[in-house]
Amino acid sequence: FGAPRFGGSRGGPLSGKKFGNPGEKLTKKKWNLDELPKFEKNFYQEHPDVVRRTVQEVEQYRSSKEVTVRGHNCPKPIINFYEANFPANVMEVIQRQNFTEPTAIQAQGWPVALSGLDMVGVAQTGSGKTLSYLLPAIVHINHQPFLERGDGPICLVLAPTRELAQQVQQVAAEYSRACRLKSTCIYGGAPKGPQIRDLERGVEICIATPGRLIDFLEAGKTNLRRCTYLVLDEADRMLDMGFEPQIRKIVDQIRPDRQTLMWSATWPKEVRQLAEDFLKEYVHINIGALELSANHNILQIVDVCHDVEKDDKLIRLMEEIMSEKENKTIVFVETKRRCDDLTRKMRRDGWPAMGIHGDKSQQERDWVLNEFKHGKAPILIATDVASRGLDVEDVKFVINYDYPNSSEDYIHRIGRTARSTKTGTAYTFFTPNNIKQVNDLISVLREANQAINPKLLQLVEDRGSGRSRGDRRDRYSAGKRGGFSSFRERENFERTYGAIGKRDFGAKAQNGAFSAQSYSNGTPFGNGFAAAGMQAGFRAGTPAAAAAAAAAGAYQNGYEQQYGSNIANMHNGMNQQQYAYPATGTAAPMIGYPMPTSYSQ
């Protein structure tokens, strides 16, 4: 089966079909379970160490890892890899990768999946969910009869984008190779021939995007008669992209007594309905807060501004970021056109930036992502096509140049940084045009214990009072020296962060080192930094202590207690060195873009 093949779907839910409804040629199968061959799906044998674990110990572990479990007969979590009783060749790969212990979703998800139960896993990005379903899939496959000529896959993983499918295939290829299993990845935007040949040769694991899989099922290039292990990865994203009809068509081709695992970063009513339709007596595992929540290892900084200010603010911010040793940054924009325009503008000004969006060819997208991953172009400008499934471990900064349409997408975007246990910083430009999302954004910030820009609270108050957009000059002018729109807002702020003088607030750093002066006069990000040296940095781990440090002339939003004392140069993940612009009239050394000559068609 050779090297891993990459991908995800292209062009949305109607990929590969110009007319008609996707999957209209596929008829819903009528299954008679008495006539179907029997298969096993419960292979879990509880390790003696797990058996001896008391109810109190289990509850303590779940509480410490923020694991919430719903459903009947949920097994105890495993705390060590050996307790899962995976095959020896799987354990060898785990040991080579130097994993120390299972993540929370793996610890609780593996026993559930190995027991043959249907499950829903709700966890933030970077939580280790891919191995949560792939390793039990390998155990499941090893207990099934060998594939015969004409058989389709035993394990089917559906993913919303070719980028996510690419990363799943990379992981699957490594483990399946060790277990002498074959895996492939099928997606739109790439030649069908090699994908068809893989399917005809027979693969136990198939990672697919809905559009291309529908094409192959309709054309008879594969079938799902042998599929007994189904995974829906990022189900919420697939629904957002309009793939629900294709998903239902595909699931209709799979025997109803299959094992189904659904994974999602959020739990809206649409995903809940899908779970009710596809899963039977499932176990629901939630990692983290039950409500909409972001990774707490991410420092979130919001700047309320106007659209015309964004370019200047972005450049000032990039000056700070590019002076850092770790400076890999993703800039998210709303449209493909803006992605191209901003990429062109930044490259013209000498910035090492590249762009990616859904209209790029698969070849170019793979090349751009490879350049970004290896640091040759540390600035990636992207639409939401890259916001989910883009797994680059060392992304340090995310910038929301345009705020997304929903807080779910906001959480997924900023989740590109702080992967696994790392830390990261997310900057967001929030304009009055985004007023519909202001309450959700404030909820996300509060849940993650982030300082809230007073101008966000001003937007809420003005929205509630019904003030018109014509009042913008008053709402965002420098006239409010203290940065508070009401005595109540000031009282709430001081109750949380400690009392401060009205005039003093303009010189203090708030919400990640943005001063009220920066908010009121529209000056770029950089002016809010270094008002008082910013060297203390949330040492006590509480907002009140941070405010006290700021009042003492020492505000460094570095979370020193949590992330260690070797952080003297960290100001929101950045130091104060000036970025060295290219000399006038000379272009910075650049790799070819948008395509190297070897890729020209």
Task: Give, in degrees to the nearest 5, the angle at Cα 50 between 49 and 56.
Answer: 110
pLDDT, tens digit (0-9, with 9 covering 90-100), for 218-235: 999 999 999 999 999 999
Number of domains making up the chain: 2
Residue 97: inside a domain:
yes
Q: What pLDDT does 533 receive?
A: 37
Report the alpha-carbon distance of residue 253 to residue 259 in Å, rounded: 14
Position 386 confidence tier, pLDDT thresholds 50, 70, 90: low
What is the C-alpha to C-alpha distance for residues 265 and 234, in angstroms, rounded to an integer? 7
Residue 202 lies in a domain: yes
Q: Specify if 469 maps to a domain.
A: no
Contact residues for 152 (Cβ-Cβ < 8 A; gap 6+): 199, 206, 222, 223, 224, 225, 226, 227
Rounded to 5°, angle at Cα 582 from 579 and 588? 115
262 and 350 in a common domain: no
DSSP string of 32-64? Answer: -TTTSPP---------HHHHT--HHHHHHHHHH
CA distances, 577 to each of 163, 260, 323, 330, 501 (Å): 35, 52, 6, 21, 31
So what's the pLDDT on residue 29? Answer: 85
Angle at the Cα of 187 from the Cα atoms of 181 and 191, rounded to 5 degrees? 100
Torsion of the alpha carbons at 415, 328, 394 and 558, rounded to the nearest 10: -70
Model pLDDT, residue 250: 96
Task: Look at 113 and 564; give whichever has higher pLDDT.
Answer: 113
Claim to verify: residue 279 and residue 323 sit in the same structural domain:
no
pLDDT band at 10 (very low <50, low <70, confident <90, very high): very low
Residue 12 belongs to some domain of the structure: no
Residues 218 and 321 in one domain: no
| pLDDT value at 470 more than 70 | no
The set of residues, in sequence order, having a beta carbon less than 8 Å from that of 443 and lying 6+ positions away, is 291, 292, 407
Q: What is the reported pLDDT for 466?
A: 63
Tell me: the pLDDT tens digits for 341-364? 999 999 999 999 999 988 888 788
Higher pLDDT: 293 or 52? It is 52
| In a shared domain, residues 53 and 136 | yes
List, edge to edge, every strand of the sheet that includes 183-186: 67-70, 283-287, 119-122, 259-264, 229-232, 155-158, 205-208, 183-186
pTM of the model: 0.60
Final residue belonging to a domain, choices 403, 436, 462 = 462
pLDDT for 389: 56
Please check whether residues 321 and 254 belong to one and the same domain: no
pLDDT at 12 over 50: no
How would residue 292 be classed by pLDDT, with cut points 50, 70 and 90?
low
CB atoms within 10 A of CB 24: 13
484 part of a folded domain: no
Domain that holds residue 307: 298-462
CA distance 499 to 226: 67
The chain-wide mean pLDDT, for the chain, equals 78
482-501: pLDDT as tens digits:
344 444 444 454 444 444 43
pLDDT in tens, 17-53: 444 567 778 888 888 888 899 999 999 999 999 999 9
Same domain, 388 and 322: yes
Q: Which of 287, 311, 329 is the last residue of a domain?
A: 287
Instruction: Look at residues 91, 126, 44 and name the one whose alpha carbon lies nearest to residue 421.
Output: 126
Mark which of 252, 287, 322 sits at the end of a domain. 287
Pair (91, 188) in one structural domain: yes
Which band of pLDDT confidence, cut at 50, 70 and 90, is reported for residue 465? low
pLDDT at 568: 37
Q: How high is the pLDDT of residue 27?
A: 83
pLDDT digits (tens, 9 = 90+) for 262-291: 999 888 888 999 999 999 999 999 998 776
Q: CB–CB of 569/535 below 8 Å? A: no
Residues 372, 258 share a domain:
no
The answer to whether residues 281 and 244 belong to one domain is yes
Residues 176 and 150 in one domain: yes
Task: Report the distance separating Cα 506 and Cα 523, nearest Å.
Answer: 13
Cβ neighbours for 63, distance < 8 A, ≥ 6 positions apart: none
Burial class (CB within 10 angstroms; exposed 0-12, middle 13-18, buried 19+) of 284: buried
Which residue reads 């949560």 in tokens?
Answer: 132
Domain presence at residue 486? no
Task: Please state, for a pLDDT cut of 70, what percent of the chain lies above it.
Answer: 72
| Per-residue pLDDT, 562 | 38
DSSP per residue over 307-352, as a string? Answer: GGGHHHHHHHHHHHHHTSSS--EEEE-SSHHHHHHHHHHHHHTT--
Res 556 pLDDT > 50:
no
Judgement on whether residues 144 and 244 belong to the same structural domain of the protein: yes
Residues 82 and 218 in one domain: yes
Q: Is 444 domain-assigned?
A: yes
Whether 477 is in a domain gets the answer no
In the prediction, which pLDDT does 585 show? 41
CATH of residue 413: 3.40.50.300
